Amino acid sequence: MSEVIPNQDNPSRDNRDAKSVLAAANLPLPVRDLIDKLIRKTRLWKREKAEVALELIAHFADGLEAGQSADELVAHFGDLKTTARLIRRGKKRNRPLWWRAQRRLLQLFTAIVLVYIGLAALLVMRHPNPTIDYIAEFNRPMLSTPVADRAWPIYRAAWTKAHIWDNGAVLWPDKERGMVRPGEPGWPAAAVFLREQAPLLASLREAVAKPSLGWELKAGWEAIPAEDRAAMQGPSTTPNPLSAGQSADDPLLSRALVSVMLPFLNPMRHSANLLAADMWLAASEHESDRLLADYRAMVGLANHAGQCPLLVNQFVRLGIIALADQTIMALNVSDPTLLASHRVDLLHAMTSAEQLFRLDISGEKAFYMDMIQRVYSDDGHGDGTLTLDGLRFWEQMSDTHRIRPINTPETALRILILPAATTLTASRKDLTEQLNRFYVAAQEDAARPMWMKGKTPSKVDALVNSWKPASLRPDYYLLLSILAPSLNRASTTFGQARAVHEASMVALSLEAYHDKAGQYPTDLSELVPHYLPTAPLDYSTGTPLRYKLVNGKPLLYGLGKDGIDDGGVWADKKNHWPNVPATGDWVVYPPPDPDAN
Amino acid sequence: MRIEKELMRGTGPMAVMQLLSAGEKYGYELVEALSKRSSGVLAMGQSTLYPMLYNLEAKGLIVSRVDDSGTRSRRYYRLTDKGTRRLARDSKQWKSLSEAMSGLGFGPAAAQEGGPV
């Protein structure tokens, strides 16, 4: 047999493709077709195809040279598809390392994507199933109170009549300086206004005598009866900004604590300011009965504001009672004889107010538990995973309670991030366990004496620090860790307000002692037990409160954070009273002059 | 007689390496040698041989070179050191297996005694 193919160069050197190599081969048509089909089926690189083509051309040429016919060779070749697949597999195994590594990575990535999609599909099928109605639990004590013992109808009528939403700007002629006081330029106009408010103030004094505020918590502004809304917002048809986009139909938000509106807090704060201003007016008019009644009304108002156990309510409660105490202090400083006839009654009223300084964090825990049951699925055994509905709920929580309409792109995005979010956040069981530990620690911190708080790390901080490895993943405990600073701050604020409250009582006791003895005592222990049950403490150090007479007037102070007795000098320019100063002494009575500070 | 695919899967590469242990060969030579020296028992077509050669090459047991000096371009295959070691190991195992099978009554001696072949 004659030569069937010409001598060929190595295709890897001349970069020829399989087609040209095959075209140059002098092979019978059936054989050439077979090789052509096979090469095409291999789907190899151009160079690889040329190599295989050359090898097969040589092979068939050898077969023909050995005397086999083209038809025999084609018939005995075997299955074209299988051969192409095996050749492809063999050749690919000879490819460079970088290509094989890249292929493995691609396979790995594809596998991860498939697992991720599978996980997303699994998670999308899970839904939250809230079983505890915390709003109903919060409302239970109020609803069990007889209607006659509820203050809300009185507040509502009084605020509606007084247009509380548009009332009292005259009390703040200069917002920078705070509420106007006797002797200041704006006071005459304020006094006229306050006298006009006598009916409102009388109603407030009547309302606070009721044991219960009588406000039923509801989710969403629209759920609040129109009459109640009008009492706080007026007859305006402008929707409340917080109500925009809300829907009572949303199954997760319709009974969520996060949707609860507390619109009565602002009118309460304003009512407290009116009462404080009226205390000044009563003092200027030497009406100490009214002054005492106003103080008692502020205590009652604070009590009503704090009946809902949420932290915001307790801060409003604290703000009201602190305002009452500071007003008493300022009045006592301005004219100690002013309160002479009612000092004992005032001391009794102040003693009854002590329970208002207890920080209750059970409402915050309920708030978080409610969030968990609306964000996670429920496996019936206390565990669950993040859900699609939960993610939407979570986003809305940080969006001033507005409901985002369900739209396809956002839902698709949430589905996409759901498995990642599930991996990066704690399970329901883990989060619940940490929440329980967190609140036990917070309760222990709240119960610690104030002077211990700066000396040793708080239990909450220690717990949050123990999460450090987990907290490398942001939001692992779904913002639980960011509650720690606010609770620590709340605990300190409550402690400071209590210290000022007690100092006010000591100051009143000193004046009562002076009324009786004609002079101040030489030591605070002389006030015990007739005026005070125990010797007062310096809340910044836990040691006895320092007392001395300056220009014949009492000065009460603690040692502050540095624990050094500076003789009762407020020296910290950065901290403002009543915060405990870093340097100098913590003067609690009389309050340091803010202009001098 | 043709060998079942499963049996061929193990013996085919060993047979090819054994042939290459005598020196380098190109594809057609290997097909011919396998057919003739095994009396057709280990005969394999190009559809089996070439993928097998590529796999052995990927494992580093054989290497190839292209020779353009003759009348046609040929790809020659030869054993590597690794292939030589693997062949030695596989041969040893094969010998042990063969002896074991003989002990069970397989093989020429058993056939003469009337046992299974």
Tell me: the pLDDT tens digits for A324-372?
A: 999 998 898 888 888 888 888 898 899 889 999 988 888 989 998 998 9
Chain A contact set for B28 (CB, 8 A): 58-59, 62-63, 66
- Is the pLDDT assigned to residue A212 strictly greater than 90? yes
- Dmax (CA) for chain A in angstroms is 143
CB pairs under 8 A between A and B: 83
With CB atoms and an 8 Å threshold, state whether B47 touches A91: no
Residue A76 Cα distances to A69, A506, A533, B1, B14, angstroms: 11, 113, 113, 16, 23
Question: Does A47 touch chain B if contact means CB atoms closer than 8 Å?
Answer: no
A112–chain B nearest CA distance, Å = 28
Residue A435 Cα distances to A252, A319, A387, angstroms: 21, 28, 19
pLDDT at B7 (0 to 100):
66
- Is the pLDDT assigned to residue A245 strictly greater than 50? no
A506-510 average pLDDT score: 91
pLDDT at B1 (0 to 100):
56
Residue of B27, B55, B59 lying closest to A55 (CB–CB): B27
- Least reliable range by pLDDT among A255-259, A473-477, B57-61: A473-477
Residue of chain B minimizing CA distance to A51: B75
A200-218 average pLDDT score: 96
pLDDT at A15 (0 to 100):
63
- Is the pLDDT assigned to residue A486 strictly greater than 60? yes
- Least reliable range by pLDDT among A110-114, A156-160, A325-329: A325-329
- The closest alpha carbon to A1, from B71, B34, B47, B78, belongs to B71
Confidence tier at A591 by pLDDT (50, 70, 90): confident
A557, containing H or E segment: strand A553-558
Q: How many CB atoms lie within 10 A of CB A429?
A: 14
A4-25 average pLDDT score: 63
Model confidence over A537-559: pLDDT tens digits? 998 899 999 999 999 899 999 99
The span from the CA of A388 to the CA of A406, in Å, is 11
Model confidence over A442-475: pLDDT tens digits? 888 888 888 887 777 888 888 888 887 655 555 6
Output A345 or A302, whichever has higher pLDDT: A302
A393-419 average pLDDT score: 72
A300-322 average pLDDT score: 94
DSSP symbol at B116: -
pLDDT at A414 (0 to 100):
86
Confidence tier at B116 by pLDDT (50, 70, 90): very low
The span from the CA of A234 to the CA of A227, in Å, is 9
The span from the CA of A232 to the CA of A163, in Å, is 8
DSSP H helical ranges for A66-96 = 70-75, 80-93
Task: Supply the mean pLDDT for chain B.
Answer: 84
Residue of B28, B31, B68 lying closest to A7 (CB–CB): B68
Q: How many CB atoms lie within 10 A of CB B94?
A: 15
B84-89 average pLDDT score: 96
pLDDT at B111 (0 to 100):
45
- Least reliable range by pLDDT among A33-37, A351-355, A402-406, A481-485: A402-406
Confidence tier at B10 by pLDDT (50, 70, 90): confident
- Is the pLDDT assigned to residue B73 strictly greater than 70? yes
Task: Supply the mean pLDDT for chain A.
Answer: 86
DSSP symbol at A303: H
Count CA atoms closer than 13 A to A96's CA, side-chain side. 4
The span from the CA of A245 to the CA of A242, in Å, is 8
With CB atoms and an 8 Å threshold, state whether A90 touches B50: yes
Confidence tier at A155 by pLDDT (50, 70, 90): very high
The span from the CA of A594 to the CA of A576, in Å, is 8
pLDDT at A407 (0 to 100):
65
Confidence tier at A4 by pLDDT (50, 70, 90): very low
A421-445 average pLDDT score: 89
Confidence tier at A290 by pLDDT (50, 70, 90): very high
Chain A contact set for B68 (CB, 8 A): 7-10
pLDDT at A301 (0 to 100):
97
Q: Supply the ipTM of this predicted assembly.
A: 0.85
DSSP symbol at A424: H
3-state secondary structure A204-237: HHHHCCCCECCCCCCECHHHCCHHHHHHHHCCCC
With CB atoms and an 8 Å threshold, state whether B66 touches A10: yes
- Is the pLDDT assigned to residue A81 strictly greater than 50? yes
* Residue A146 CB burial class (10 angstroms; 0-12, 13-18, ≥19): exposed
- Is the pLDDT assigned to residue B20 strictly greater than 60? yes
Confidence tier at B2 by pLDDT (50, 70, 90): low
Residues 6+ apart with CB under 8 A from A227: A156
A203-211 average pLDDT score: 97
Is-contact A27 A60, C-beta < 8 A? yes
pLDDT at A38 (0 to 100):
94
pLDDT at A559 (0 to 100):
92
- Is the pLDDT assigned to residue A499 strictly greater than 90? no
Question: Does B108 touch chain A if contact means CB atoms closer than 8 Å?
Answer: no
Confidence tier at A271 by pLDDT (50, 70, 90): very high
- Is the pLDDT assigned to residue A63 strictly greater than 80? yes
- % of chain A at pLDDT higher than 70: 90
Output A534 or B62, whichever has higher pLDDT: B62
Confidence tier at A197 by pLDDT (50, 70, 90): very high
The span from the CA of A380 to the CA of A583, in Å, is 55
pLDDT at A319 (0 to 100):
95
Confidence tier at A581 by pLDDT (50, 70, 90): confident
With CB atoms and an 8 Å threshold, state whether B45 touches A76: yes
With CB atoms and an 8 Å threshold, state whether A77 touches B28: no
The span from the CA of A571 to the CA of A126, in Å, is 60
